[in-house]
């Protein structure tokens, strides 16, 4: 094991966790959240929905199969920092090209291992997610001072930090034309649509409804993404202008954008849903599936109006996991049907979306 420098994670309530530096020997501030997945750490690191967050993995050994060139979900590592119990320095996999620490270091992202992750998770579950700071070779007082002067997570528009710089083709196949509004899109959403033969155009989050419709889409996908949906009034206005014009699929943050466009409210969860084992019940069929989730906000069901109704719920806490509309061709889910990582129980969501496109053309 390479020699590691002392590192520290300080929470805004003053709680301190000591460990060893992995990745870049630098500092980071972000909202500290936990993910219960046992695998998929590379996809988690590169998921844009984690922008601005320090991610804690509850599974104790992370990095055991290394880093591959294929298992990424965006252009770069998106997390602000990474916290694990034990980072593996000798991964074993024929596709591995680097260790976890090397991957983080190459992109100047700090991490910490040797942390009592059970204690940290219990604190976040009991107190709720909170801001935190990672640092190497610094005193706790200095780190806490930096943390308390930092901008809070829910006041930042992270979507416009992770979205595409310009429109680009996600696929040039000859099938139905799907436009993805990139709020923080994962590559596997594009892969899922390509598998079904779709032609894809990805557009930045700032794209107007008029410009989207000018592309003549057969359907629109509102992607997942990071941050508080209340920071995205401009996106909500454009989504409102799209309602009724073409079928729409909303995923995670995209689901929240659809809900807000239909007049509903959102609220922050105490510690969010992040992991690959969340049970979701479809209220129409009664079917229960296991889902991959990554979100810290949810839709208030009592605020729904204008023809929107709850279609799916989370069996752990009864929060809204899906919406349908009585009149408009709208499908929305709070979880990640594309997984990466996680179960594939809901991959048919994309097929259901294409059925909406077929009824519209």
Cβ-defined contacts of 311-318 (< 8 Å, 24+):
311/282, 311/283, 311/284, 312/280, 312/281, 312/282, 312/283, 313/280, 313/281, 313/283, 314/273, 314/278, 314/279, 314/280, 315/279, 315/280, 315/281, 315/288, 316/273, 316/278, 316/279
Q: Is residue 170 part of a domain?
A: yes
Which has the closest alpha carbon to 297: 231, 210, 347? 231
Q: Is residue 228 part of a domain?
A: yes
Instruction: Using alpha carbons, list the distances in angstroms from residue 177 to 190, 210, 358.
Output: 12, 16, 12
Q: Average pLDDT, stretch 287-300? A: 98
What pLDDT score does 360 carry? 39
Q: Average pLDDT, stretch 246-271? A: 97
Whether 198 is catalytic is no
Residues 356 and 220 in one domain: yes
Residues 210 and 144 in one domain: no
Residues 190 and 138 in one domain: no
Q: Is residue 185 part of a domain?
A: yes
Q: Is residue 333 part of a domain?
A: yes
Return d(Cα 29, Cα 53) in angstroms, integer: 8
Q: Is residue 174 part of a domain?
A: yes
Residues 287 and 351 in one domain: yes
Instruction: Quickly state the pLDDT bin for 306 (edges 50, 70, 90).
Output: confident
If you average pLDDT over every residue of the chain, what do you get? Answer: 96
Instruction: Using alpha carbons, list the distances in angstroms from residue 143 to 157, 162, 267.
Output: 24, 26, 30
Q: Is residue 79 part of a domain?
A: yes
Residues 148 and 231 in one domain: no
Among residues 155, 172, 204, which one ends one of the domains? Answer: 155
Q: Average pLDDT, stretch 17-34? A: 97
Q: Is residue 235 part of a domain?
A: yes
Into how many domains does the chain fold? 2
With beta carbons less than 8 A apart as the criterion, state whether 211 and 183 touch.
no
The CATH number linked to 43 is 3.50.30.20
Helices and strands (H and E) in the chain: how many: 10, 19
Which has the closest alpha carbon to 208: 250, 179, 188? 179
Instruction: Quickly state the pLDDT bin for 359 (edges 50, 70, 90).
Output: very low
Residues 228 and 135 in one domain: no
Identify the domain containing residue 319 by its residue range.
Answer: 159-360
Exposed, middle or buried by CB within 10 Å (0-12, 13-18, 19+), for 188?
middle
Residues 296 and 239 in one domain: yes
Return d(Cα 139, Cα 266) in angstroms, integer: 38
What pLDDT score does 64 carry? 97
Instruction: Quickly state the pLDDT bin for 2 (edges 50, 70, 90).
Output: low
What pLDDT score does 1 carry? 56
What pLDDT score does 4 carry? 83
Percentage of residues of the chain with pLDDT beyond 70:
99
Q: Which of 43, 177, 252, 273 is catalytic?
A: 252
Residues 316 and 204 in one domain: yes
Q: Average pLDDT, stretch 140-167? A: 96
The CATH number linked to 248 is 3.40.50.880
Among residues 135, 155, 175, which one ends one of the domains? Answer: 155
Locate 354 and state its tokens. 């294409």
Q: Which of 12, 31, 238, 338 is catalytic?
A: 338
For the stretch 75-125, pLDDT in tens is 999 999 999 999 999 999 999 999 999 999 999 999 999 999 999 999 999
Whether 338 is catalytic is yes
DSSP string, 217-283: -SEEEE----S-GGG-HHHHHHHHHHTTTS-EEEETHHHHHHHHHTT--EEEEEEEEEEEEEEEEET
For the stretch 30-65, pLDDT in tens is 999 999 999 999 999 999 999 999 999 999 999 999
For the stretch 314-335, pLDDT in tens is 999 999 999 999 999 999 999 9
Q: Could you give phi then psi for residue 105, rounded to 5 degrees?
A: -65, -40
With beta carbons less than 8 A apart as the criterion, state whether 25 and 41 touch.
no
Beta strands in 16-72 (DSSP E): 16-23, 28-35, 53-57, 61-62
Whether 360 is catalytic is no
Residues 190 and 103 in one domain: no
Among residues 108, 139, 155, which one ends one of the domains? Answer: 155
Residues 143 and 168 in one domain: no
pTM: 0.96
With beta carbons less than 8 A apart as the criterion, state whether 256 and 266 touch.
yes
Cis peptide bond prior to 284, omega within 30° of 0: no
Residues 289 and 301 in one domain: yes
Residues 127 and 173 in one domain: no
Q: Is residue 1 part of a domain?
A: no
Return d(Cα 297, Cα 279) in angstroms, integer: 17
Locate all alpha helices (DSSP H) within the chain, ordered by sequence.
41-45, 100-106, 117-127, 140-148, 159-162, 187-195, 209-214, 233-242, 253-261, 348-360
Q: What share of the chain is helix, strand, coil (3-state, %, to 5)?
A: 25, 35, 40
What pLDDT score does 361 carry? 37
The answer to whether residue 352 scores a pLDDT higher than 90 is: yes
Locate 161 and state its tokens. 């930090």
């Amino acid at each position: 094991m390479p020699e590691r420098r002392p590192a520290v994670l300080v929470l805004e309530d003053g709680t301190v966790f000591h460990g060893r530096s992995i990745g870049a020997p630098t500092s980071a501030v972000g909202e500290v959240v936990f993910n219960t997945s046992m695998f998929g750490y590379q996809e988690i690191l590169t998921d844009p929905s984690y922008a601005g967050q320090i991610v804690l993995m509850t599974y104790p050994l992370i990095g055991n199969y290394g880093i591959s060139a294929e298992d990424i979900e965006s252009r770069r590592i998106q997390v602000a920092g990474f916290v694990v119990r034990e980072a593996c320095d000798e991964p074993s996999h024929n596709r591995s090209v680097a260790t976890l620490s090397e991957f983080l270091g190459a992109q100047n992202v700090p991490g910490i291992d040797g942390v009592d992750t059970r204690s940290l998770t219990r604190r976040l579950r009991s107190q709720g997610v909170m801001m935190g700071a990672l640092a190497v070779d610094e005193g706790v007082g200095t780190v806490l001072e930096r943390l308390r002067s930092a901008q809070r997570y829910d006041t930042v528009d992270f979507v416009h930090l992770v979205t595409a710089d310009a429109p680009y083709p996600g696929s040039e196949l000859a099938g139905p034309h799907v436009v993805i509004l990139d709020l923080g899109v994962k590559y596997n959403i594009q892969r899922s649509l390509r598998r079904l033969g779709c032609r894809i155009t990805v557009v930045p989050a700032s794209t107007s409804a008029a410009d989207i419709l000018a592309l003549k889409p057969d359907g629109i996908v509102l992607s997942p993404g990071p941050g508080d949906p209340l920071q995205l009034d401009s996106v909500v206005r454009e989504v409102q202008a799209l309602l009724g014009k073409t079928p729409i699929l909303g995923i995670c943050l995209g689901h929240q954008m659809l809900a807000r466009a239909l007049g509903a409210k959102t609220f922050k969860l105490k510690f969010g849903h992040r992991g690959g084992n969340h049970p979701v019940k479809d209220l129409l069929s009664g079917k229960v599936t296991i889902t991959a989730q990554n979100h810290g906000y949810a839709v208030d069901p009592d605020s729904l109006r204008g023809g929107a109704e709850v279609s799916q719920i989370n069996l752990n806490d009864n929060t809204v996991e899906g919406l349908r509309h009585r009149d408009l061709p709208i499908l929305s889910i709070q979880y990640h049907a594309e997984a990466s990582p996680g179960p594939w129980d809901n991959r048919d969501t994309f097929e259901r979306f294409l059925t909406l496109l077929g009824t519209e053309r």
